[in-house]
């Protein structure tokens, strides 16, 4: 029997420990997981900073020659090895054949991003024709909302989560004002219950059922950036559509993380960036999805020549021959320099599946959670011991890779001490540390190392 | 006396020929010009395809080891030499310090494009705070129009040139529909006179004066992509504003080509791409300009997290129009190019350009003017205005022979030019102008 299929992460850890006759917190358990990790070879596809290379490392506290503990792929994914090679190919093309590069080579610049859309579609669970790679996330969000958010007096609200990512919040606000409505009456927030950090699906659904007649668009994140909560997109989509709302998701933290099925869930629209879990580099090319059911129904509000049928686009007739679905939303030629890193990354995703990545991720993050709880649960018997509060839901189905943590010590100090010891993670004021072991390139040994380092970091923070 | 300052291109050519005691069409004249070109060293800053490297070259007709004749910088500029070096620096940063790269190094990713905006502003004649590098041209055009085009029943039209670049045409059409108006009544075109190819400034102005009360926005190109005409942006801006219109320009073909003075001319807004004359590579980072006079007056319609510096605190002017972090991989080529521009000035580039294009025109006319005495000789018709002040680098030509054949034979011989409707294999127009 494959021990890794033995049940919940906790059950798996304890069974393996028993099998190895060691403590569940022993390094041997991590080594066993890594040895049996079918995806461990994918780590070699990425460029890992060494501890000594990170500017915040204190080499009196940690060895410099090891890979750093890179748990911030939820903010900026690591560089795939082939990025430089692909970019060099395009620079060489530019230098040797100039403008001919638009139609020649392995990445003709006039349609290079289109050639990646089937790989991208696999990652989000869509058909290729439902996906466009273009622009930045917020630009895409605006283009989608301009088409999907067409409020009338009786149906004018946009529902989003409380403490949505600021960019989404401002984007929605400005869309509402553009349409002549008032954000104070047209922005509807679904909040956690008092004393809780995350949203209950039943509360989202009941809000939608109660207010849905006046909601034009339900627009949540797929994974909440702050709490790490993974929303039940399928249930929310149905609930919203049952009330006659369009339902869309900002999948910035969900793409390459959760096992998305945008098409099967009937999601109306979605957008995402690719520099997080999809490793395309800072400011990388963004994505947009529009369900094929809307191919003739929801037309783009803003047009540009890239939405015109490719066959006749360059005849310059100024008579729009609009491409169907999301393809009509394209505005201009996308830069090949951004296609290259994205291609390198999607090729790695294509060596596996989101299903397998998710399976590893559930165990990887579950392992992190297990160790955190083992060492740092609040203990009545030892009130002065540093302890951790995990904000992210404990149900693996309600989270991605990321755990959002707060400590009984000031977060800034903990963060600083972790960074000194070669950990790359993310701090969000006022009180949260986000750590995201990603299945593509993190290991169980990374997690075990992190816990050891965390111990030193907490001890060092506690001294002050 | 500097012969190059001797007058119009024609006068200069003839004076130099006289000085050299050779024909004005002699190669010696070209060599003299090159020898005295203060900017000739800038050629070394770029990577030139060799004739043999172009896929269309026929090496039985032309030597392969020379630089190609690259005359299609109006479509895709050549690669500055430093592009690879700068990109490699950022890739190395990404590989070695990961997320710290947002705030460290010579190009912190969180604000890398901001650090180029003063160099960009010099090229367009603006103040740095009036310029934002972001997105693509059409996205920027939409963001600007969403703010500047706020039609009412009595003032709802957008004036553009007939045969505007398709993206501009579609963009304007969709903006009008978005606002609930009808393109057939809200799109106003200024057309050339019958028998003419280009627009007369007086006709643009008179159209504005006649219709201006109902025009919300005048939105022309700076240089017309098809004809190569450079519009008198200063005069048009004044005329439009006198009628209470906002005036903006799509400067895609004007930036890095014409000597723009967006700020001094009082232009309200402008946008441009940078992969043409500003050599940033296919799909390079685009630009947007909003005059400082609008810093508190014309707010962005669409916002996001980078529009604001703190909660509910909109950044002033064009900075409030930014929507997201721009990719450092696009900043690198643009930086390499703008550093070259910064070794000279638009004024000096323009001076050389006027002579360079004037020289091309002189030779074309010398050899290929229509001659009544020889009606079967191939001849050229230059569509672009002959007045240097009314054009940039580009000449748009049609020939008395089918353009497709001419284009093909030129390409075989190592010339990179653009056939305006056939640069991507899909079109079948016989009479398309050859853009040189």
Tens digit of each residue's pLDDT (9 = 90 or more) over B345-364 = 999 999 999 999 999 999 99
B372 pLDDT band, cuts 50/70/90, is: confident
For residues A160-170, b (16+ Cβ closer than 10 Å) or e, as one string?
Answer: bbeebbebbbb
B305·A166 Cβ contact <8 A? yes
Q: Helix, strand, or coil here: B384?
A: coil
- List residues bridging with A435 in a β-sheet: A403
Instruction: Give A247→chain B minimum CA distance, Å.
Output: 20
Contacts of A171 in chain B (CB under 8 A): 302-304
Tens digit of each residue's pLDDT (9 = 90 or more) over A265-308 = 999 999 999 999 999 999 999 999 999 999 989 999 999 999 99
Q: How many other C-beta atoms lie within 10 A of the C-beta of residue B63?
A: 12
Interface with chain B: mutation pick from A55, A94, A187, highest number of B CBs within 10 Å: A94
Mean pLDDT of B212-233: 97
Q: Where are the alpha helices (DSSP H) in A73-129?
A: 83-97, 117-124
**pLDDT value at residue B306:** 63
What is the DSSP code string of B159-221?
A: EEETT--HHHHHHHHHHHHHTT--HHHHEEEE-PPTT-SS--HHHHHHHHHHHGGGEEEEEEE
Contacts of B420 in chain A (CB under 8 A): 316
Is position A166 annotated in a ligand binding site?
yes
**pLDDT value at residue B4:** 80
Residue A25 predicted with pLDDT over 50: yes
Q: Which two tokens stand for residue B294?
A: 């609008």
Contacts of A97 in chain B (CB under 8 A): 49, 53-55
Tens digit of each residue's pLDDT (9 = 90 or more) over A123-159 = 999 999 999 999 999 999 999 999 999 999 999 999 9
**Mean pLDDT for chain B?**
92
**pLDDT value at residue B425:** 26
Q: Which two tokens stand for residue B5?
A: 């300052």
Interface with chain B: mutation pick from A76, A98, A281, A318, highest number of B CBs within 10 Å: A98
Residue A383 predicted with pLDDT over 90: no
Comparing alpha-carbon positions, the chain B residue that sits nearest to A170 is: B304
**pLDDT value at residue B305:** 66
Alpha carbons A105 and B282: distance in angstroms, whole number: 14
**pLDDT value at residue A378:** 86
Q: Which two tokens stand for residue A339?
A: 């296609």
Task: Report CA-CA distances (Å) from B34 to B5, B23, B28, B42, B285.
Answer: 15, 17, 10, 12, 32
Tens digit of each residue's pLDDT (9 = 90 or more) over A103-124 = 999 999 999 999 999 999 999 9
What is this model's ipTM?
A: 0.96
Return the axis-axis angle of helices B328-341 and A336-349, rounded to nearest 10°: 160
A97·B421 Cβ contact <8 A? no
**pLDDT value at residue B422:** 34
Residue A232 predicted with pLDDT over 70: yes
Contacts of A135 in chain B (CB under 8 A): 135-136, 139
What number does CATH give the domain A9-67+353-462?
A: 3.90.1150.10
B311 pLDDT band, cuts 50/70/90, is: very low
**pLDDT value at residue A134:** 97
Do A425 and A71 touch, CB atoms closer than 8 A? yes
Share of chain A above pLDDT 90, in %: 92
Mean pLDDT of A325-344: 96
- List residues bridging with B313 in a β-sheet: B310
What number does CATH give the domain A84-351?
A: 3.40.640.10
Every domain of chain A and the residues it spans: 9-67+353-462, 84-351
pTM above 0.90, yes or no: yes
Comparing alpha-carbon positions, the chain B residue that sits nearest to A83 is: B91
What is the DSSP code string of B31-77?
A: HHHHHT-TTGGGGGGEEPPBGGGSTT--TTTS-SSSBPEE--TTTSP
Residue whose entry in the numeric block shows the structure tokens 């080499």: A59
Residue B55 predicted with pLDDT over 60: yes
Nearest to B99 among A72, A139, A304 (CB): A72
A–B: how many Cβ contacts below 8 A? 261
* Strand intervals (E) in B17-56: 46-47
Residue A262 predicted with pLDDT over 60: yes
**pLDDT value at residue B424:** 28
Q: Which two tokens stand for residue B432?
A: 């398309």
**pLDDT value at residue B6:** 75
Is position B250 annotated in a ligand binding site?
yes
A341·B329 Cβ contact <8 A? yes
Is position A396 annotated in a ligand binding site?
no
Nearest to A332 among B78, B136, B333 (CB): B136
Tens digit of each residue's pLDDT (9 = 90 or more) over B384-434 = 999 999 999 999 998 888 888 899 999 999 999 877 543 322 222 222 233
Residue B296 predicted with pLDDT over 80: yes
Is position A404 annotated in a ligand binding site?
no
Interface with chain B: mutation pick from A77, A78, A95, A280, highest number of B CBs within 10 Å: A95
Alpha carbons A131 and A271: distance in angstroms, whole number: 9
**pLDDT value at residue A197:** 94
Q: How many other C-beta atoms lie within 10 A of the C-beta of residue B133?
A: 27
Nearest to B281 among A177, A315, A337 (CB): A337
Interface with chain A: mutation pick from B94, B169, B224, highest number of A CBs within 10 Å: B94
**pLDDT value at residue B400:** 87
Do A364 and A437 touch, CB atoms closer than 8 A? yes
Residue A178 predicted with pLDDT over 90: yes
Instruction: Give B295→chain A minimum CA distance, Å.
Output: 18
Alpha carbons A382 and A405: distance in angstroms, whole number: 20
- List residues bridging with B61 in a β-sheet: none
Q: Which two tokens stand for residue B15?
A: 């004076």
Residue A64 predicted with pLDDT over 50: yes
A60 pLDDT band, cuts 50/70/90, is: very high
Mean pLDDT of B136-143: 97
Q: Helix, strand, or coil here: B399?
A: strand
Do A442 and A364 touch, CB atoms closer than 8 A? yes
Tens digit of each residue's pLDDT (9 = 90 or more) over B63-103 = 999 999 999 999 999 999 999 999 999 999 999 999 999 99
Find out whether the peptide bond into B323 is cis, omega within 30 degrees of 0. Answer: no
Closest CA to A136 of A345, A332, A309: A332
Q: Which two tokens stand for residue B372?
A: 């009544």
Residue B310 predicted with pLDDT over 50: no
Mean pLDDT of A48-64: 97
**pLDDT value at residue B2:** 76
Tens digit of each residue's pLDDT (9 = 90 or more) over A245-258 = 999 999 999 999 99
A174·B427 Cβ contact <8 A? no
Share of chain B above pLDDT 70, in %: 94
Least confident of A310-319, A390-399, B136-145: A310-319
Share of chain A above pLDDT 70, in %: 100
């Amino acid at each position: 029997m494959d021990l890794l299929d033995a049940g919940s992460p906790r059950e798996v850890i304890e069974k393996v420990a028993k099998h190895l006759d060691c403590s569940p917190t022993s390094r041997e358990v991590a080594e066993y997981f890594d040895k049996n990790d079918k995806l461990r070879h994918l780590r070699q596809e990425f460029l890992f900073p060494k501890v000594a290379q990170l500017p915040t490392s204190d080499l009196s506290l940690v060895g410099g020659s090891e890979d750093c503990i890179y748990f911030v792929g939820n903010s900026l994914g690591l560089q795939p090895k082939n990025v430089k090679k692909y970019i060099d190919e395009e620079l060489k093309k530019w230098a040797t054949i100039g403008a001919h590069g638009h139609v020649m080579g392995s990445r003709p610049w006039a349609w290079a991003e289109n050639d990646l859309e089937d790989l991208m579609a696999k990652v989000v669970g869509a058909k290729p024709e439902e996906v466009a790679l273009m622009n930045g996330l917020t630009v895409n969000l605006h283009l989608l909302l301009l088409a999907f958010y067409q409020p009338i007096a009786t149906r004018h609200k946009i529902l989003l989560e409380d403490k949505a990512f600021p960019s989404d919040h401002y984007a929605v606000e400005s869309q509402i004002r553009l349409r002549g409505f008032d954000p104070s009456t047209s922005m509807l927030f679904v909040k956690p219950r008092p004393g809780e950090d995350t949203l209950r699906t039943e509360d989202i659904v009941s809000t939608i059922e109660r207010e849905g007649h006046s909601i034009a668009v339900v627009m949540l994140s797929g994974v909440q950036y702050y709490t790490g909560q993974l929303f039940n997109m399928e249930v929310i989509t149905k609930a919203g559509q049952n009330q006659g709302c369009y339902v869309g998701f900002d999948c910035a933290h969900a793409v390459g993380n959760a096992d998305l099925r945008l098409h099967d869930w009937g999601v109306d629209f979605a957008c995402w960036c690719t520099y997080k879990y999809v490793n395309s580099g800072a400011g990388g090319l963004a994505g947009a999805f529009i369900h094929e059911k809307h191919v003739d129904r929801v037309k783009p509000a803003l047009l540009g020549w890239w939405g015109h049928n490719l066959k006749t686009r360059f005849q310059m007739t100024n008579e729009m021959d609009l491409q169907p679905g999301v393809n009509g939303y394209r505005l201009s030629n996308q830069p090949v320099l951004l296609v290259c890193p994205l291609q390198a990354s999607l090729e790695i995703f294509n060596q596996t599946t989101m299903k397998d990545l998710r399976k590893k991720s559930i165990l990887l993050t579950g392992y992190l959670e297990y160790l955190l709880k083992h060492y740092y649960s609040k203990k009545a018997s030892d009130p002065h011991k540093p302890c951790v509060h995990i904000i992210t839901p404990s149900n693996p189905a309600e989270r991605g890779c990321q755990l959002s943590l707060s400590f009984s010590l000031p977060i800034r100090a903990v963060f600083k001490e972790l960074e000194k010891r070669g950990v790359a993670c993310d701090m969000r004021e006022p009180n949260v540390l986000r750590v995201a072991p990603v299945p593509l390139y993190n290991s169980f040994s990374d997690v075990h190392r992190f816990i050891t380092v965390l111990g030193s970091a907490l001890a060092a923070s506690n001294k002050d």
